[in-house]
Homo-oligomer: A and B are copies of this chain.
């Protein structure tokens, strides 16, 4: 049965990527070895790593602008720590827009002064704070560009002289931005980029080397950069599948092409949420994420019926996070508009039934 996978991450990836990856597990590039058994020092894997790094920069429009891309382990969560270890000397500014921002902020506090410039915690993070002030003497400003759990997304980024660091785990490669406004971008692979098991870190090299503390090797961006993501054994398969997914995106027309499709998908679901009296959106309208749509039933009693309808339609992974309840439809890059239409259709069908 065809599944419509709305999982928040790990999540849907292109079917063509699954086919290529499956084949590479048996025989990679016709070399009679599995991608799982080749050395990370082999010329075959070095080529994969180089292509992955270069595709990441190319998709973001950051080639030849002083940026480097790393593929590391530990997920976005380890970057919460690494960012502070590598950049926080005196003071850092954090915008708190949800669970992930809060966790990032918590780790940074272990290493220095942290100013929370604004928070939407007062309203269970259903909006993005605006009009906050970033201290000019901050070492960096940290934000979460898309709040996976609450379904909000930042559409404006502050104009500031302070280096901007963004956790783009759940909207990397989904929309055009001037990425050169960011000094550091990180993203766990397991949404738009690939399977769980690697994290992309894109760094403007000139922001490094300014802290006085000694950084443990595995947390030190300079060490990872000097070894081109091979300071220790990289997560070979996760990098390979991420590379395939970025290739797929490039062939599809890159970020511009996918953004149009992502807006189309978001339009389908939000129109239905607004139109349908049985559903209401969770996030403030102007901050609605084009990746994760969060919504609730107006009458919770309808949940068993709706869940059964979703199951019969092959819909997977729409249960909301416990912090929000209700539903969350994650519509990452690889999802076809048809799948979102299937969801909108059963929402309408519920209305007709009820």
Contact = CB atoms under 8 A, between A and B. Distances in A.
Q: Is the interface on chain A under 10, 10 to 19, 20 to 34, or 35 or more residues? A: 35 or more
A233 interface: yes
Contacts of A77: 217-218, 231-232
Contact of A5 (B33, B40, B76, B198): B33
A78 interface: yes
Interface centre among A37, A42, A80, A235 (most CB of B within 10 A): A37
Interface stretch (A15-23, A156-164, A249-257, A260-268): A15-23
A10 B3 CA distance: 34
A10 B39 contact: yes
B78 A40 contact: no
Contacts of A320: none
A346 to B, nearest CB: 18
Nearest to A169: B233
A271 B238 CA distance: 40
Contacts of A9: 39, 233
Nearest to A18: B34
A26 interface: yes
A39 B232 contact: no
B74 A7 contact: no
A334 B196 CA distance: 25
A73 B235 contact: yes
Interface in A1-58: 1-3, 5, 7-13, 18-19, 21-23, 25-26, 31-34, 36-40, 42
Interface string A298-317: 00000000000000001011
Contacts of A10: 36-40, 233, 236
A178 B317 CA distance: 44
Interface centre among A1, A11, A74 (most CB of B within 10 A): A74
Contact of A110 (B76, B190, B198, B214): B214
A195 interface: yes
A278 to B, nearest CB: 26
A218 B238 CA distance: 20
17 contacts: A7-B42, A9-B39, A10-B40, A12-B37, A18-B34, A18-B36, A21-B25, A36-B195, A73-B73, A73-B78, A74-B74, A80-B217, A81-B216, A81-B217, A81-B218, A107-B218, A197-B235
User: Which 8 residue pairs spanning A and B have beta carbons closest together?
Assistant: A197-B235, A77-B232, A73-B73, A22-B25, A36-B195, A196-B236, A75-B232, A197-B197
Interface of A: 1-3, 5, 7-13, 18-19, 21-23, 25-26, 31-34, 36-40, 42, 73-78, 80-81, 103, 106-107, 110, 188, 190, 195-198, 214, 216-219, 231-238, 241, 314, 316-317
